[in-house]
Structure 1
Amino acid sequence: MHFDAVLIPPRRERLRAQSLWHDLTINDALDACLAQCPEQRALTAVSTERGRCESFSYRELARLAERIAVGLARLGVGRDDVVSCQLPNGWPFTLLYLACSRLGAVLNPLMPIFRERELGFMLAHAESRVVVIPAQYRGFDYPRMYAGLRAQLPALEHVIIVDGDGDDSFAACLSDPPWEQAADAAAILGHVRPQADDITQLLYTSGTTGEPKGVMHTANTLFANIIPYAERLHLGAGDVVLMASPMAHQTGFMYGLMMPILLRAQVVLQDVWEPRTALGLIREHGVTFTMASTPFLTDLAKAVSDSGLTVPSLRTFLCAGAPIPGPLVEQAQHALGAKVISAWGMTECGAVTTTRPEDADSRAVDTDGCPLPGVELRVVDADGTPLPPGESGRLLLRACSNFGGYLRRAALNATDAEDWFDTGDLARIDAEGYIRISGRSKDVIIRGGENIPVVEIEALLYRHPAIEQVAIVAYPDERLGERACAIVVPKPGQEGLELADLVDFLKAQGVALQYIPERLIVREALPATPSGKIQKFKLREQLRDASR
């Protein structure tokens, strides 16, 4: 695979001179753990569905990483090959990334909710040679889905199944044979030592223009964010991180996989969010830090209040993905005794802004934080002219953690000659430098931290034989922040359209369940400009007003 990460070379000299790129890889971080704390517990993985809890020391992680790396090499994986995984949180995910990094291969995490439509595009675009999947997760049969997909994926050579029982199982191919003891293991592991500017992660955004975009990251771009993030939040080797956010999102990947290894800390991985289970894990393992979207905070605070159990070890809960309601901060801090931090970020650059642990609690309610070191923000009008504090406009950022570009979509990189990236969001900045995201110029709904690709779902619904016009817009939800509503003008004679008709239609197209609208409104017409463009802001306002 050729990675056209055109945004990386122009930055090298400047960011290294500013000590914002550290020329550090995950291999270096794991080697440091092996040298300094080999017997320390590194990772505990909880599999809710299988009823398992497995722990690994740093020595065991390093040994298994080498074993799986040699196993991947046996499958033909080498430098710059893409290995995809559609896995829930767990040790196979972490070990697969560490193994890919040993070979200079690129990991492409895929959300477990993705189905045929999303996967068919992403795996083909990435030219994935290997994909690792669960035998079953939350009742879904992944091998069966991939059996139907393989005909359209000529580059895909191997589908490896975690908890499978055949020759294509993760155990048989990768984790059980002592590959690291083979005569050629040292040569395989020493053949390629990836550099910090090599692509290490390929992560797809939810498409807003009909196709997802493959975000390319290097170790330099990822660690340029993780290091100042951990420093701001006062995280170190003594911390225990709970990660229940999906590791196939940047949140779980950067702060639940990479950050604990960098810090020589411990991480507890939870595969299915269940607040009572999370409460038990925090108490059992002495969790000090966790990061998730607003619904997780709501659920955990309620679980603590309802159970009467306390979580005295929990120091910080960082909340991102949607504004945090004021009463929730008060309830959570009373129930958990932890500092609630608000943050904003993107797949393209990780966390961009956070509030500080030293800030007043109101900052987490009224703002999305201030920039991390190495991040510059600018709010401009439609013509690109900077706006004064307090005025809302297009949010641009220039960050040491900015991605290397979109795979084979350089024309969409939205980065100018001075390295300013157009986030597609609207924001305002106050006099102290704290931002508040005030809207999105991108047509995306964020449901519980998950971006819904509105344009793509609308395009599918336009194929429905009963639909003349459709607009999908957000409506407020106390727990998830937003949900999706389809507002439809039916074709003549089709006025009896029901939500179930839309759901069945989209399921038949292989759309992920979380992307399917949860509400339907049928109207005779939609508000539009003189040129015929649907005025979604009016629809959003009407839904907001109706919910009050």
Structure 2
Amino acid sequence: MEFDAVLLPPRRAHSIAQGLWHDRTINDALDACVAACPDKLALTALRVETGELRRFTYRELGDVADRLALGLARLGIGRNDVVAMQLPNWWQFTALYLACSRIGAVLNPLMPIFRERELTFMLNHGEARLLVVPKVFRGFDHEAMARALKPAVPSLQHIVVVDGEGPDAFDTLLAGHDAQRGSDAAGILSRHRPGPDDITQLLYTSGTTGEPKGVMHSANTLMANIIPYAERLGLGQHDVVLMASPMAHQTGFMYGLMMPIMLRASAVLQDTWEPRRVAELVRAEGASFTMASTPFLTDLTKAVRESGQPVPSLKTFLCAGAPIPGPLVEQARSVLGTKIVSAWGMTENGAVTLIRLDDPDELAFSTDGCPLPGVELKVVDSDGKELPAGQVGNLLVRSCSNFGGYLKRPQLNGTDADGWFDTGDRARMDANGYIRISGRSKDVIIRGGENIPVLEVEALLYRHPAVAQVAIVAYADERLGERACAIVVPKPGQQLDFEGMVAFLKEQRIALQYIPERLVVREAMPATPTGKVQKFRLREMLNDGSL
């Protein structure tokens, strides 16, 4: 695979000179942990359904990474090969990324909710050579799906199954490589290690094109975000980071997988969100920090309040993905005794803005924070002219952690010659540099922190024989922030009900979370004189109850 990360070379000299890029990789960080604190607990991973709890010291984690790297090499995986992985927050996720980094392979995390439609596109676009899946997760047979779609992905040579059996089992990949522990093992593990500007992560995100885009990141871009992020939050080697947000999202990957290793701290992973178990883990493991979307904070606060058992070790809960209601901040502070930090970011940059630990609690629900070091922001009008404080406009970011570009789609990179990236979001900035996201120019709904690719779902509904016109818009939800509603104008003489819409979309094999949770049938859409549907009017009508 050739990676067209055209946004990296022009930034290198400046980023190094300013101390924003550190020219280190996750290999350097892991090797330092193994040398300095080999017997420290590095990783604890809980499978909620089975109750299985696995623990690894840094010495053990380094050994597992090396063994997996040798197994990958035996399968012919090498430098710049894409290894796709559709795993929940299991220890195998962390180990596989570290193994790929040993041999210069590029990890492509895929959300476990994805089904044939999303996976076939992403695997083909990224030219994945190997796919790692769970045999079964949350009652779904991922192995059967992977084997069924393999013929449609010519580049895909191997499928490896966690909890599987036989030669394709993950345990087979991990074991049976003692022979390679011989003379050539050291060479395999060191010969093709990536440099800090090589692509190490390929992560797909939904946008206005209606198809996912492959975001390319290097160690320098990822670490340029993680280091100031940890510093602002006062995190260090004595912290225990709990991550129940998916590591196949940038949130879990950067701050649940990479950050603890970079800090020589400890990570605790939970594979499915179950708030009572989260509270138990916080108490049992002494977790001091976690990051998740607003619904997770609501759930954890409720679980702790109902149990009557405090979580005194939890110092900080960083909340992103949706605005935090003021009453929730007050409740969480009272019940959890935890500092609530609001933040905003993107797959392309990681976290961009955070409030500070010494900021008043009010800023957690009235703003989305101020820029991290190495980040510049400006709010501009439609002509690109910078707007004064307090006015809403298009939000641009120039950041040391800006991605390397979209794989095979440099025309969509959205970054000008001066390095300003168009986020596609609208925001206002106050006189102190704190921003508030006010809307999205991108046609994406964020449901509980999960982006719903609106244009793709609309395109599928247009295939339904009863649909003449469709628009999918967000409506407010107290817990998830937003849910999706499909507004449909049927063809003359045709009818469509909610059950029929859901059945049709399930037949298209899209992720269940992408299916709209409401259906409104209308005779016509509000539109401009040129016929363009006015989605803002539909949103207003939904939220004021007139639809």
Q: Same fold by TM (over 0.5)?
A: yes
- The CA distance in 1 between the partners of 2:346 and 2:143, in whole Å, is 31
The equivalent residue for 1:534 is 533
- The CA distance in 2 between the partners of 1:66 and 1:357, in whole Å, is 38
- The CA distance in 2 between the partners of 1:178 and 1:460, in whole Å, is 50
SS in 2 for 1:167: helix
- The CA distance in 2 between the partners of 1:369 and 1:250, in whole Å, is 18
Decide whether the 8 Å contact of 1:207 with 1:456 is kept in 2: no
- The CA distance in 1 between the partners of 2:311 and 2:173, in whole Å, is 41
- The CA distance in 1 between the partners of 2:227 and 2:79, in whole Å, is 26
Deviations along 1:466-499, one digit per CA (max 9) or x if unpaired, are 111100000000000000000011111223x211
The equivalent residue for 2:194 is 194
Q: Does 1:335 align with 2:335?
A: yes
Q: Does 1:260 align with 2:260?
A: yes
Decide whether the 8 Å contact of 2:207 with 2:443 is kept in 1: no
Instruction: Give matches, 1:86-105, under 5 Å.
Output: 86-105=86-105
The equivalent residue for 1:292 is 292
Question: Could you tell me how far 1:389 is from its partner in structure 2?
Answer: 0.2
- The CA distance in 2 between the partners of 1:407 and 1:392, in whole Å, is 31
Distance 1:9 1:209, change over 3 A: same
Decide whether the 8 Å contact of 1:67 with 1:179 is kept in 2: no
Deviations along 1:183-212, one digit per CA (max 9) or x if unpaired, are 421121121121100000000002431211
- The CA distance in 2 between the partners of 1:106 and 1:435, in whole Å, is 34
Question: Could you tell me how far 1:544 is from its partner in structure 2?
Answer: 1.3
The equivalent residue for 1:485 is 485
- Whichever residue aligns with residue 303 of structure 1, its letter is A
Question: Could you tell me how far 1:546 is from its partner in structure 2?
Answer: 1.5
Question: Could you tell me how far 1:331 is from its partner in structure 2?
Answer: 0.6
SS in 2 for 1:144: helix
The equivalent residue for 2:451 is 451
The equivalent residue for 1:414 is 414
Distance 1:175 1:296, change over 3 A: farther
Decide whether the 8 Å contact of 1:424 with 1:440 is kept in 2: yes
Decide whether the 8 Å contact of 1:7 with 1:404 is kept in 2: yes
Distance 1:477 1:79, change over 3 A: same
- Whichever residue aligns with residue 172 of structure 2, its letter is A
The equivalent residue for 2:184 is 184
SS in 2 for 1:343: strand
- The CA distance in 2 between the partners of 1:161 and 1:179, in whole Å, is 23
SS in 1 for 2:468: strand
SS in 2 for 1:299: helix
Question: Could you tell me how far 1:175 is from its partner in structure 2?
Answer: 4.5
The equivalent residue for 2:344 is 344
- Whichever residue aligns with residue 408 of structure 1, its letter is K
- Whichever residue aligns with residue 342 of structure 1, its letter is S
Question: Could you tell me how far 1:317 is from its partner in structure 2?
Answer: 0.2
Instruction: Give matches, 1:76-91, under 5 Å.
Output: 76-91=76-91
The equivalent residue for 2:164 is 164
Question: Could you tell me how far 1:165 is from its partner in structure 2?
Answer: 1.5
SS in 2 for 1:353: strand
Deviations along 1:81-116, one digit per CA (max 9) or x if unpaired, are 000000000110000000000001100000000001
SS in 2 for 1:507: helix
Decide whether the 8 Å contact of 1:353 with 1:368 is kept in 2: yes
The equivalent residue for 1:27 is 27
Question: Could you tell me how far 1:10 is from its partner in structure 2?
Answer: 0.1
TM-score (norm 2): 0.99
- Whichever residue aligns with residue 482 of structure 1, its letter is E
Identical counterparts, % of pairs: 70
Distance 1:221 1:444, change over 3 A: same
Tell me how large the CA RMSD over aligned residues is.
Answer: 1.1
Decide whether the 8 Å contact of 2:397 with 2:421 is kept in 1: yes
- Whichever residue aligns with residue 313 of structure 2, its letter is S
Decide whether the 8 Å contact of 2:207 with 2:442 is kept in 1: no
The equivalent residue for 1:503 is 502
The equivalent residue for 1:357 is 357
Worse-matched range after superposition: 13-22 or 206-215: 206-215
Deviations along 1:297-343, one digit per CA (max 9) or x if unpaired, are 00000000000000000000000000000000011111100000000
- The CA distance in 2 between the partners of 1:175 and 1:500, in whole Å, is 48
Decide whether the 8 Å contact of 1:41 with 1:56 is kept in 2: yes
- The CA distance in 2 between the partners of 1:99 and 1:195, in whole Å, is 15
Deviations along 1:391-427, one digit per CA (max 9) or x if unpaired, are 0000000000000000000000000000000000000
- The CA distance in 1 between the partners of 2:67 and 2:183, in whole Å, is 13
Question: Could you tell me how far 1:547 is from its partner in structure 2?
Answer: 8.9
The equivalent residue for 1:522 is 521
The equivalent residue for 1:307 is 307
Distance 1:374 1:547, change over 3 A: farther
SS in 1 for 2:405: coil
SS in 2 for 1:386: coil
- The CA distance in 2 between the partners of 1:110 and 1:34, in whole Å, is 29
Decide whether the 8 Å contact of 1:64 with 1:175 is kept in 2: no
Decide whether the 8 Å contact of 2:352 with 2:371 is kept in 1: yes
Distance 1:494 1:363, change over 3 A: same
Deviations along 1:486-541, one digit per CA (max 9) or x if unpaired, are 0011111223x211111111111111000000000011100001111100000001
- The CA distance in 1 between the partners of 2:343 and 2:179, in whole Å, is 42
Question: Could you tell me how far 1:369 is from its partner in structure 2?
Answer: 0.2
- Whichever residue aligns with residue 543 of structure 2, its letter is R
Question: Could you tell me how far 1:173 is from its partner in structure 2?
Answer: 2.0
The equivalent residue for 2:40 is 40
Question: Could you tell me how far 1:180 is from its partner in structure 2?
Answer: 5.8
- Whichever residue aligns with residue 483 of structure 2, its letter is R
SS in 2 for 1:111: coil
The equivalent residue for 1:275 is 275
- Whichever residue aligns with residue 43 of structure 1, its letter is L
Distance 1:91 1:327, change over 3 A: same
- Whichever residue aligns with residue 38 of structure 2, its letter is P
Q: Does 1:401 align with 2:401?
A: yes
- The CA distance in 2 between the partners of 1:377 and 1:327, in whole Å, is 29
- Whichever residue aligns with residue 538 of structure 1, its letter is R
- The CA distance in 1 between the partners of 2:133 and 2:244, in whole Å, is 19
Worse-matched range after superposition: 138-147 or 205-214: 205-214
Question: Could you tell me how far 1:49 is from its partner in structure 2?
Answer: 2.0
SS in 1 for 2:168: coil
- The CA distance in 1 between the partners of 2:249 and 2:546, in whole Å, is 30
Unaligned runs of 5+ in 1: none
Instruction: Give matches, 1:50-129, under 5 Å.
Output: 50-129=50-129
The equivalent residue for 1:152 is 152
SS in 2 for 1:546: coil
Decide whether the 8 Å contact of 1:78 with 1:103 is kept in 2: yes
- The CA distance in 2 between the partners of 1:176 and 1:381, in whole Å, is 60
Decide whether the 8 Å contact of 2:147 with 2:159 is kept in 1: no
